[in-house]
Structure 1
Amino acid sequence: MSRFTITETGIEGLRVVRRQRLGDERGFLSRLFCAEELAPAGWRKPVAQINHTWTQARGTVRGMHFQHPPHAEMKLVTCLRGAVWDVGLDLRAGSSTFLQWRAVELSADNGNALLIPEGLAHGFQALTDDCELLYLHTEPYAAQAEDGLSATDPALGIEWPLPIALQSERDRHHPGIAPEFTGLDLNS
């Protein structure tokens, strides 16, 4: 019996992972990760890195981040405290959903996660103060491969639910999508 219910988002590989919570008067147990149970959803590599973020202020936007091949990574993003609007943006060359995005609310209350495949940029907006996220990555951070796009680029059309209250200096200076960008070639 799987402890996960997987829901499609309309972008190939971008999936919402709903965790089954087993609870009683003491509280609950929830399985955060199981490679075997997530394999049908596309998780096929070992976890190479786990990151934990804390975002202090509601309205803060982090992203849109990605790594170029051969360091492209799959991520499983979980909200441990607070709530976020979590966004995946398809950057894969030849994808039928190229430059489309989908977003879901992740929260400590709903216990959901977003499974983000290789070739998608990722970002989020804090819907509450004091948000904590846990990220599982299939590739370690590679400074030479890291990149990002402007979260406010009108060409991407990402609809943030709140006015943007704060972004890092780095994120504010990410470029918009270049007209000649044809996508990330994951086969290179």
Structure 2
Amino acid sequence: LDHEDPHTHLYTFYELCGLVGVSGADEEALFMRLFPFSLNRKAKAWLHSQPNQSLTTWRDVETKFLARVFPPSKNTEARTAIATFAQGADEPLCEAWERYKSLLRRCPNHGFKVELQVQTFCNGLQPQTKMILDASFGGSVMFRTAEEAITIIESMASTDFRSQHGRSSSHKRGVLELRLKMQC
């Protein structure tokens, strides 16, 4: 957990506990019993340093854990990273979209409404990418609902990923063919 995102850690922890198939009060007891085993070094030392009876519910553990490993300063940094998102100069749309969604996942309490999330992403795109995105919408993406925009962005990012993946393998094939011709 030293370099792991705490929200991802909790999400993975919930997934693993979900494999047991327990719910309700038993689920909270399961979380309380298994959580220490999901921690390492500093996080585990912090948990064991808590006074007896100070963590009596799973909500107590989760709240204090996040306050410890994701303090307000980190939350502010994460919110700033979301608000100032910018696509890299040579970054494909698919990678920019995945990176942006990752920023949102790392700070689930960011407080940005879906409409603002879409607007921030689109405003952070390179001009050429934004122009292609707007063209695919038949006008500015800002005139669509957030749900429509996300659907089209997801579709374009998926297509972009496939073309990026296909382009690199076909490029290598062309280089190989050229080398074979020159050897003859």
Structures share a fold, TM > 0.5? no
Indicate the structure with greater helix content.
2
Structure 1 length normalisation: TM-score? 0.23
Work out which structure has the larger RCO, using CA pairs closer than 8 Å and 6 or more positions apart in sequence. Answer: 1
**Rg comparison, structure with higher value:** 2
Indicate the structure with greater strand content.
1
